[in-house]
Amino acid sequence: MKTSLDLQKHYGLLLGLVPPWMVVHVELKMLEKRVEIDVQWPKGRQVECPTCGRSCSIKDHREERHWRHLDTMQFETIIKSRVPRSECPEHGVKTINISWAEPNSRFTLLFESLAINIMLAAKSLKEAAKLLRLSWDQVHHIQTRAVERGLVRRDLEEIKYVGIDEKSFLKGHKYASLMTDINGQRVLDVVEGRTLESANELWSKLPEEIRTSIDGVAMDMWDAFITSTKTNAPQADIVHDKFHISKYLNEAVDKVRRSEHKELTSKGDDTLKGMKYAFLKNPENMNEKEKVKFNDLRMDRLKAGRAWSIKETFSEFWTYSYQASAEKFFNQWYWWATHSRLKPICDVAKMIKRHLDNILTYLRHQITNAITEGFNSKIQSIKANARGYRNFANYRVAILFYCGKLSLQP
Ligand SMILES: [Zn+2]
């Protein structure tokens, strides 16, 4: 189909072509539901060296390449061009820059931008691929380039607090370590494993001047993370996360309750039947039925009741503003916990005491890994889409794409 000058101009505008690039031919392929648009640089016109911008003559043209563009109505739209190569006296022969696509991309800028928005909105890459009529690998490739672009542009200057946490990856078979920017509410990076090497690798993702100006690092009481932080960010305070500490205390209460329940049941006493969650909840989150049942328990006579009281009392620790008062409170609590004759409680109390210096830092910085918990559902859905994420690098790209707050658009 020969096209009129008007139609060529119209397509030039639609593509956002920057003159003197021009549309020379538009072909509509009805059967393939495809529009093919030929774009050319005018014959004899000087080109710019992509390195220095100097005006040079054309050496030759590259082979014809295709770029997928936004559809025209329901027609898949392809841009075709043979891009000239400049001959710069200083930089030699180079392919000139094109205005509609990034170098080495098979898609136009507008198409990539649409694809990124669809991926952000879609439930899975598979669904995005279907909507865009691309393969999984093609959308994944667009996603990878978007993340690379975002990482180059990313500003890390304002980071004061980071969180380091572990995540299970691949249905709990493997672990990953995650670093977050706590105030910026974003994932900074994720690496495979939860060893000292993993933690060091995670730190190495931040430039030294950023690393060494961080004020505090929230984390679990995990040796690999502690050691690595002391080496890589020695100026930073380590702040053991209060949610992890609550988790250990809850697990201890649960152990006490389970073994006591077993003991009671063997004597035909079902006092603790169905009480598992009541013991793990905050009293204010209990429903009415649980409250009544809980209040009826003779807590003082139950081991689980004592364990629960010790756990609940510890939460007061987080409310202190002064280190000396918090320490005084802790020492009393510690005495109580270690004299409770409840081994699981005693073990957690000792662990807390061993790490007390880096728990007291909470009073000064008030940081936790709660933000990582917030990313969990997103990361969970990324994992659920496991096709392709068996490969750790792909999984990392997806996490940074959805949780990195990166500037992704071309
Ligand atoms: Zn040049």
Assess whether 177 and 145 both reside in one domain: yes
CATH number reported for the structural domain that contains residue 113 in this entry = 3.30.420
Assess whether 66 and 121 both reside in one domain: no
Assess whether 141 and 178 both reside in one domain: yes
In a domain, 144, yes or no: yes
Assess whether 300 and 355 both reside in one domain: yes
Assess whether 107 and 90 both reside in one domain: no
CA 410, chain centre distance (Å):
20
pLDDT for residue 295: 75
Q: How far is the CA of 81 from the centre of ligand 1 (A)?
A: 23
Instruction: Report yes or no: 370 and 337 within 8 Å, Cβ to Cβ.
Output: no
Q: Which domain holds residue 336?
A: 242-365
Q: What's the predicted TM-score (pTM) here?
A: 0.84
Assess whether 323 and 359 both reside in one domain: yes
Does residue 170 surpass a pLDDT of 70? no
In a domain, 256, yes or no: yes
Q: How far is the CA of 112 from the centre of ligand 1 (A)?
A: 29
As a whole number of angstroms, the distance between CA 382 and CA 291 comes to 38
pLDDT for residue 386: 54
Q: How far is the CA of 267 from the centre of ligand 1 (A)?
A: 90
Residue 86: both structure tokens together: 């400049």
> 2 falls in which pLDDT band (50, 70, 90)?
very low
Assess whether 93 and 110 both reside in one domain: no
Q: How far is the CA of 301 from the centre of ligand 1 (A)?
A: 86
Q: What is the mean pLDDT of residues 113-135?
A: 89
Q: How far is the CA of 321 from the centre of ligand 1 (A)?
A: 63
Number of separate domains in the chain: 3
Assess whether 152 and 256 both reside in one domain: no
Residue 89 CB-half CA count within 13 A: 2
> 200 falls in which pLDDT band (50, 70, 90)?
very high
Q: How far is the CA of 102 from the centre of ligand 1 (A)?
A: 19
Task: Please tell me what DSSP assigns to residue 305.
Answer: H
Q: How far is the CA of 59 from the centre of ligand 1 (A)?
A: 13
Assess whether 120 and 236 both reside in one domain: yes
Tens-digit pLDDT profile for residues 241-284: 899 999 999 999 999 999 999 999 999 888 888 778 777 877 77
Q: How far is the CA of 128 from the centre of ligand 1 (A)?
A: 40
Q: How far is the CA of 103 from the centre of ligand 1 (A)?
A: 17
Assess whether 177 and 247 both reside in one domain: no
Assess whether 120 and 46 both reside in one domain: no
More confident residue, 281 or 81: 81
pLDDT for residue 192: 92
Q: What is the mean pLDDT of residues 389-404?
A: 86
pLDDT for residue 202: 96
Q: How far is the CA of 37 from the centre of ligand 1 (A)?
A: 30
Q: Which residue, of 74, 100, 126, is where some domain finishes?
A: 100
Q: How far is the CA of 61 from the centre of ligand 1 (A)?
A: 17
Average pLDDT, the chain: 89
